[in-house]
C-alpha cells in the first residue's frame, strides 16, 4: 500500500513540475497613450494574435491619457521601473534617446520590413535605430463643400496657394456675420509647417548650434499667418468663446479648417458635405508628419520578447489591418494593399490626399528642452496675435530664448 502511495505522490509532484517547466512565459509590460479610451479592444486583437504566434510571451497593457503619459513614463524610468515596451511620439523621442533610456534596435530591424524611409529616419538617433515607427498622421485642409457652393466658389485644388485660400475665405466670410472663412491658428506647429511651405525659413541652422527663427523669410511667414485673424477671416479666441475649431467646423459655420486626419471619425456626423485637399502652398508644399513610435527600454530584462512585440506592433500585417479598419491612426508602412479599405471609405471622398501629403513631409524641430521651446514660441506668437509685439520683435526675442535653450 505504501508503495502505491509513493508512486501516487511521485506522480502528483511530476504534475506540478511539468506545467512549471512548460510555463516558461515571459511577461512584458507595454505602456501606451493612443489606445485609450477608444481602441483598447483593437489593441487586444493585435495582442491576442501576437500571443498566439508567440505562446511564451504574455503582453500586459498599461494606459494613460496623453496629458499625463510622459510624466508617468519619466517617473517610471526614474524609479528604475520603466515599462519594457512603450510608445513615444516624435517630439519626445530625442529626449529619451539622448538620455540612454532606449534599447538599440538596429540589429533586430528586419531589412524587408516595408517602413516608409522617412518614418524610419524619424526614429534614428546618432545613426542608430532607437525606436520603430508605429503610426503616422498628417494635417490637411478640410473644407465645407456646401459653403463653397453657397459662395459660388470652386473647390480647393492641389495647386492652390495661400493667396487663393485667402481670397476664397473672404468670399465665404462675406456670407454672414457668424460664418467664418478659415481657421489656421498661429502657434508652434502651424508656424514651423508654414515656414517649410515658405521654404526659406527654418527655426535652427543646419548643425543646430544657433536659432535662425528671426530671418526675414520667417518674419513674413508669421505676418501672413497673423493676417488671417487681423483680416477677420478667422475668429479670435475670445470670439470662439470656448468652442473648439472642430466644433465650429461641425456646426457648419466654417469654410476651411486646417486640422488632422484623426478628425475623419468625428466629422462623420456633420450635417453638410465636406472634403479634404492638400494644404495650400506658399512657395512649395509642406505637410505635417506626425509619427508615433514604439521603443524598448534600455533596462528591460526581456529584450528579445520586448523587441519581438515592438516589431509585431509596428510592422505586422495584423497590426496594420486592425489599425486601418478601426481608423486608429495609420501604420507607417509603404504597403498600398493595407490602405485599400481606408481609401474607399467616405467621407471624405478625397482620401488620396493623405498620401499625396506624404510626399512633402515636415517634422517639427526637436531639441532636448522641447516643451520649454514650444511654450516660449507659443507665448511670443500669442503676443503678436494680440498686437503687443510686431512679428520682427517677437522673433528676435524668440531667437534669444531659443539660443539659450540649446546651450
Partner 1 sequence: MNQSNVVRTDRLPAVDPAAVAPRTLRLSYIVRIGLMGVIVALMVLPFVWMLSTSLKAQQYILTTPPQWIPNPLTFESYTGLAERINLGRTFFNSLFVAVVGTMGQIVISAMSAYAFARLDWRGRNTVFLLYLVTMMIPAVVMVIPQFILVRALGWMNTYAALIVPGLFSAFGTFLLRQAFLAIPKDFEEAALVDGANHFTIFWRIIMPLALPSLATLGVFSFMGYWNNYLYPLFVARQEAVVTLPIALATLQAGPRALTEWNMVMAGSVITVLPILVAYLLAQRWFVSGAISSGIKG
Partner 2 sequence: MLVAWNSGFQRWKWVAFFLLPGLVGLSLFVLYPILSSFWLAFQDWNLLSPPEFVGLGNFQELLGDGDFWRALRYTLTFIVLYVPIVFVLGLALALFLNQKIPGMLLVRASSFLPVVASWVVVSLIWKWIFNPAYGLINYALGIFGVQGPAWLFEPQTAVYAMVITSVWKDVGYIALLYLGGLQNISESYYEAARIDGANHWRLLRHITLPLLTPTMFFVAITLLINYFQMFEQVWLMPMRDSAADRQVEVIVTEVVKNAFSYNRMGYASAMSWVLFALIFAITIFQLRLQKRWVYYESE
85-89 and 290-296 as β-strands: parallel, antiparallel, unpaired? antiparallel
The residue (of 266 and 337) whose beta carbon lies closer to partner 1 is: 266
**At 350, phi and psi to the nearest 5?**
-90, 50
Of positions 9, 75, 237, 404, contacts partner 1 by CB under 8 A: 75
Q: Does 79 bind partner 1 (CB under 8 A)?
A: yes
Q: Give min distance, CB of 126 to partner 2, in A.
A: 16
What are the residues whose beta carbons fall under 8 Å from the beta carbon of 81, sequence distance 6 or more? none
Residue 247 touches which of partner 2, partner 1, none (CB < 5 to 8 A by kind)? partner 1
Q: Grid coordinates representing 156?
A: 480647393
The least CB distance from residue 162 to partner 2, in Å, is 22
Which residue has cell 504574455?
Answer: 58
Beta strands in 289-362 (DSSP E): 290-296, 330-331, 361-362
Per-residue binding letters, 302-341, with partner 2 (x by CB under 8 A): ----------------------------------------
Binding of partner 1 by 240 (CB under 8 A): no
Contact track, partner 2, 226-245, x by CB under 8 A: -----------xxx-xx---
**Segment interacting with partner 1 (CB under 8 A) among 72-80, 172-180, 224-232, 306-314:** 72-80
Q: Which whole-number Å values give the CA distances from 331 to 290, 292, 377, 397, in the listed order? A: 12, 10, 31, 39
| CA-closest candidate to residue 96, choices 119, 121, 123 | 123
Q: Which residue has the cell 529584450?
A: 303
Tell me: does residue 95 bind partner 2 (CB under 8 A): yes
**390 is an interface residue for partner 2 by CB under 8 A:** no
Minimum gap (Å) between residue 242 Cβ and partner 2: 5
* 260: helix, strand or coil: strand
- Please identify which residue in 13, 56, 71, 106 interacts with partner 2, judged by CB under 8 A: 71
Residue 152: left if φ>0, alpha if ψ -120 to 50, beta else—which one? left
Binding site for partner 2 (CB under 8 A): 71, 74-75, 77-78, 95-96, 99-101, 185, 187, 237-239, 241-242, 369, 371-372, 375, 378-379, 382-383, 386
Amino acid at each position: 500500500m505504501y508503495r502505491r502511495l509513493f508512486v501516487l505522490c511521485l506522480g502528483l509532484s511530476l504534475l506540478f513540475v511539468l506545467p512549471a517547466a512548460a510555463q516558461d512565459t515571459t511577461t512584458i509590460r507595454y505602456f501606451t497613450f493612443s489606445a485609450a479610451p477608444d481602441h483598447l479592444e483593437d489593441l487586444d486583437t493585435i495582442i491576442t494574435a501576437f500571443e498566439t504566434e508567440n505562446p511564451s510571451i504574455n503582453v500586459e497593457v498599461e494606459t494613460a491619457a496623453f496629458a499625463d503619459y510622459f510624466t508617468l513614463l519619466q517617473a517610471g524610468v526614474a524609479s528604475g521601473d520603466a515599462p519594457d515596451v512603450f510608445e513615444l511620439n516624435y517630439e519626445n523621442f530625442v529626449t529619451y534617446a539622448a538620455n540612454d533610456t532606449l534599447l538599440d534596435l538596429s540589429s533586430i530591424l528586419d531589412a524587408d520590413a516595408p517602413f516608409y524611409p522617412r518614418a524610419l529616419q524619424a526614429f534614428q538617433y546618432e545613426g542608430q535605430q532607437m525606436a520603430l515607427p508605429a503610426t503616422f498622421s498628417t494635417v490637411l485642409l478640410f473644407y465645407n463643400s456646401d459653403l463653397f457652393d453657397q459662395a459660388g466658389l470652386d473647390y480647393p485644388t492641389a495647386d492652390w496657394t495661400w493667396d487663393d485660400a485667402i481670397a476664397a475665405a473672404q468670399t465665404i466670410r462675406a456670407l454672414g456675420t457668424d460664418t467664418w472663412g478659415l481657421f489656421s491658428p498661429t502657434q508652434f506647429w502651424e508656424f514651423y509647417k508654414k515656414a517649410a511651405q515658405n521654404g526659406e525659413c527654418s527655426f535652427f541652422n543646419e548643425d543646430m548650434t544657433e536659432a535662425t527663427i528671426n530671418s526675414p523669410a520667417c518674419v513674413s511667414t508669421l505676418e501672413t499667418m497673423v493676417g488671417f485673424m487681423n483680416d477677420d477671416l478667422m475668429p479670435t479666441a475670445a470670439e470662439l468663446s470656448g468652442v473648439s475649431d472642430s466644433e465650429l467646423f461641425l456646426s457648419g459655420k466654417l469654410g476651411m479648417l486646417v486640422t488632422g486626419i484623426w478628425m475623419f471619425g468625428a466629422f462623420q456626423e456633420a450635417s453638410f458635405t465636406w472634403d479634404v485637399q492638400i494644404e495650400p502652398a506658399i512657395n512649395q508644399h509642406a505637410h505635417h508628419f506626425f509619427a508615433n513610435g514604439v521603443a524598448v527600454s534600455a533596462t528591460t530584462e526581456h529584450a528579445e520578447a520586448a523587441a519581438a512585440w515592438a516589431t509585431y506592433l509596428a510592422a505586422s500585417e495584423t497590426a496594420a489591418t486592425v489599425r486601418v479598419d478601426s481608423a486608429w491612426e495609420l501604420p507607417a508602412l509603404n504597403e498600398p494593399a493595407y490602405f485599400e479599405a481606408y481609401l474607399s471609405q467616405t467621407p471624405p471622398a478625397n482620401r488620396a490626399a493623405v498620401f499625396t501629403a506624404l510626399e512633402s513631409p515636415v517634422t517639427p524641430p526637436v531639441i532636448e528642452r522641447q516643451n520649454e521651446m514650444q511654450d516660449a514660441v507659443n507665448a511670443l506668437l500669442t503676443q503678436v496675435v494680440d498686437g503687443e509685439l510686431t512679428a520682427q520683435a517677437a522673433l528676435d526675442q524668440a531667437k534669444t530664448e531659443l539660443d539659450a535653450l540649446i546651450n
